[in-house]
A = this chain, B = another copy of it.
Amino acid sequence: MTLLDGKGLSKTIKAEIANEVERLVASGGKRPHLAAVLVGDDPASHVYVRNKVRSCEQSGFESTLVQKPDDISEEELLRVIDGLNRDEDIDGFIVQLPLPKHIDAEKVTLAIDHRKDVDGFHPMNFGRMALGLSSYVPATPLGILTLLERHGVETSGKSCAVIGRSNIVGTPISILLSRKAKIGNATVTLLHSRSQNADEILAASDIIVAAIGIPNYVKAHMVKEGAVIVDVGINRVDDASAKRGYRLVGDVDFEAVKDKCSCITPVPGGVGPMTVTALLMNTLRAAKEEIYH
């Protein structure tokens, strides 16, 4: 069994990006600049945004953190976004989700200039992705594709089951793995809460992408001998023996399936670190104007 080590690969790619940034700057180019908008006091959001800012620094990006209180009005937040859209120094920016309930997240996403939408959540980017055009690809799916590619995992002609149809993971990764591309050309089945016979479909799949948010959901009997397993879940389960009183587990019962599969992403240290790295990849593309001018 091979561990699909996202932590290590993430370090490698960040170093590659840092090198490219230094070359860009040395040849008179602009340093890539990512901004992040953080609204309110959600502790998890703070951790995520801090990670993103720290990763920017590690790769030589400029970063700007815009913090706003929980009670910011929708109108005021839209003004902040408009400012970032107009700021010529900023190549891309993200608005950390979730937003407070009085703010319409859809309206906020649509307000972001799609040319700066390095999260890839704007319909313009999502549509371009689904149509096979160049686009920013949402960070988690892009991280997964990169992880598979760099580990030399063959996807063409393979059967692949994706569990979960969220807009940020399941739906886009199912589209991406289906399309005509190097990491693609798989026969993808998208499983969700209404699916029947999910266990049988999983047990017949060469590749499983689990993004359902249920701890240890994928058991040994659902895994084919030699399958490739990508575990997107990051779930807290109580653990009195752990320092913080909990530990992180994925959507896959790692111990039960690890000797049955050919490759698997650990949790933590698999898909998670790749997600932040994918955001840097998108931002570098934005700075280089590879997709939009």
A175 and B179 contact, Cβ closer than 8 Å, known pairs A124-B124, A127-B125, A159-B196: no
Closest 3 CB pairs of A and B: A127-B127, A123-B127, A126-B127
Chain A residues with a Cβ under 8 A of chain B: 106, 122-133, 135, 156-157, 159, 165, 167, 171, 174-175, 178-180, 185-192, 194-198, 201
This protein's copies in its complex: 2
A167 (CB) vs chain B CBs: closest residue: B131
Residue in B127, B133, B189, B198 whose beta carbon sits within 8 Å of that of A189 in the complex: B189
Given the interface pairs A123-B123, A124-B123, A178-B171, the reply to whether A187 lies near B187 with Cβ below 8 Å is no
Given contacts A131-B171, A187-B194, 9 further A-B contacts (CB under 8 A): A122-B127, A123-B124, A123-B126, A124-B127, A127-B127, A127-B129, A174-B178, A187-B190, A187-B201
| Pick from B135, B185, B190: contact of A194, CB under 8 Å | B185
Bound Cα distance A132, B123 (Å): 10
- Residues of B within 8 Å of A124, CB to CB, are 123-124, 127
Shortest Cβ distance from residue A44 to the other chain B in the assembled complex, whole angstroms: 23
